[in-house]
């Protein structure tokens, strides 16, 4: 595992050894943990992986922003350590990136290289199925890719719309009175659907929309009671 204090990664072996000679072993299990700053704590993520029995040497960590994939340790894991049929655990999708379009591309990369991604906050990615039913994993992965693609596109549209509305508001002389209405995230409907269907947990939904617990349930109450229309 990367030393959380030096944040340095040992050189990853290209081959895995077993006994004499050189041969590629069966699938290996890795985990990836990330926080955005050196002051933030990794312990919660690390404990979750260790509780699963993952060797600490195989837990790769970064203390860098999730705005893109320009992270030294993650790139070393992705490009030098992970092999076909390996398994990668993460706590939630936003540990990969905060950018939905980037996450979508990464899921497509894992799919193309037959790397199985298990997300602790997405129970459907953790299922163990009998041999011959692997197509279900591909279906779940395809759903995630499609949903994230839709969310990313909706976020782009919403950003442009908000920019136009902001310019119009700045030019207006009117003044809004009272408390401003709650502004729902652009991906609310997609994430709400997957939470409501049991595909993701409430914690995962909050993470995907960057909402606190109290705000999430306040929005949920208004949405389900028909007090807002999106």
Predicted TM-score (pTM) of this structure: 0.56
Per-residue pLDDT of the chain (230 residues; tens, 9 = 90+): 555 444 555 444 434 443 444 454 568 999 999 998 888 899 999 999 999 999 999 999 999 988 888 899 999 999 999 999 999 999 988 888 878 778 888 988 998 999 999 989 888 788 776 677 666 667 776 777 677 657 656 666 777 787 777 777 766 766 554 566 678 998 998 899 889 888 899 999 999 999 999 999 999 988 888 877 76
In a shared domain, residues 26 and 80: yes
In a shared domain, residues 154 and 191: no
What domain range is 101 assigned to? Answer: 1-174
In a shared domain, residues 191 and 96: no
In a shared domain, residues 225 and 148: no
User: In the beta sheet, which residues pair with residue 118?
Assistant: 89
User: DSSP string covering 165-205, please?
Assistant: HHHHHHH------SSPPP---TTHHHHHHHHHTTSS-HHHH
């Amino acid at each position: 595992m990367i030393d959380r204090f030096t944040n340095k990664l040992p050189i990853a072996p290209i081959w895995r050894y077993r006994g004499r000679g050189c041969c590629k072993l069966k699938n290996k299990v890795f985990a990836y943990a990330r926080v955005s700053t050196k002051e933030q704590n990794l312990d919660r993520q690390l404990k979750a992986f260790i509780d699963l029995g993952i060797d600490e040497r195989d837990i790769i960590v970064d203390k860098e922003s999730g705005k893109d994939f320009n992270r030294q340790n993650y790139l070393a894991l992705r490009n030098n350590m992970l092999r076909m049929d390996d398994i990668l655990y993460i706590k939630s999708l936003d540990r990969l990136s905060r950018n939905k379009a980037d996450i979508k591309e990464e899921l497509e990369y894992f799919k193309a290289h037959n790397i199985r991604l298990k997300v602790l906050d997405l129970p459907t990615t953790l299922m163990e199925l009998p041999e011959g039913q692997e197509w279900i994993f591909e279906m779940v992965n395809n759903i995630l890719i499609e949903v994230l693609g839709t969310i990313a596109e909706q976020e782009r549209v919403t950003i442009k719309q908000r920019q136009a509305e902001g310019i119009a508001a700045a030019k207006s002389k009117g003044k809004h009175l009272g408390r401003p209405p709650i502004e729902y995230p652009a991906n609310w409907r997609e994430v709400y659907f997957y939470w409501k269907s049991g595909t993701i947990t409430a914690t995962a939904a909050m993470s995907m929309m960057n909402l606190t617990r109290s705000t999430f349930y306040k929005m949920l109450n208004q949405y389900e009671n028909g007090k807002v229309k999106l």
